[in-house]
Amino acid sequence: MPTQRPATVQLRSSLYEDAVAIVDREYASDLALDDIARRVASSRRQLQRAYAEIGNTTFRDHLTAVRMDRAAELLARRSVTVREVAHRVGYRQPAQFAKAFRRHKGLAPSAFRSRVGGGHRSQAPDAYSTLAHAA
């Protein structure tokens, strides 16, 4: 790979940092690469390059990682249902959230909650967590 000019590295670092800040603030909303690129005054391709070269990731992988980390924090608190966690981190469909969470963390959300929290929930388990765990 050819060496990048310092100005190019600086630009891509700035784009990446700006995009990361937006994702960290707005991970629960419906974010898309094109929208973020527009907001940081860049092209889609330039932002993709910034993610690849500066962040060593993709926009989608970064967004998913942020969402899954926030979901893990919420699940550890045990005060909200799996369905509510899914909605709070930007998933409209709890089944889609459970699949992504399982892929990212290696456990279903309800199993993760059981391992992290130990003991029993004070609330009755929601029907979704039971179904997701069985799937």
pLDDT tens, position by position, 75-107: 998 889 999 999 999 999 999 999 999 999 999
Residue 122 has pLDDT above 80, yes or no: no
Please check whether residue 31 lies inside any domain of the structure: yes
CB 57 within 8 A of CB 51: yes
pLDDT at 135: 41
Residue 19 belongs to domain spanning:
6-57
pLDDT at 2: 55
Please check whether residue 13 lies inside any domain of the structure: yes
As a whole number, mean pLDDT of residues 109-133 equals 59
Same domain, 39 and 100: no
pLDDT at 4: 76
Q: Which of 69, 77, 89, 88 is nearest to 113 (CA)?
A: 77
As a whole number, mean pLDDT of residues 59-71 equals 97
CB 121 within 8 A of CB 133: no
Please check whether residue 1 lies inside any domain of the structure: no
Give CA–CA dist 131/135, Å, rounded: 6
As a whole number, mean pLDDT of residues 121-134 equals 42
Give CA–CA dist 10/129, Å, rounded: 45
As a whole number, mean pLDDT of residues 37-55 equals 96
Same domain, 100 and 48: no
Please check whether residue 122 lies inside any domain of the structure: yes
This prediction's pTM: 0.81
Query: Residues 6 or more apart from 73 whose CB is under 8 A from it?
Result: none
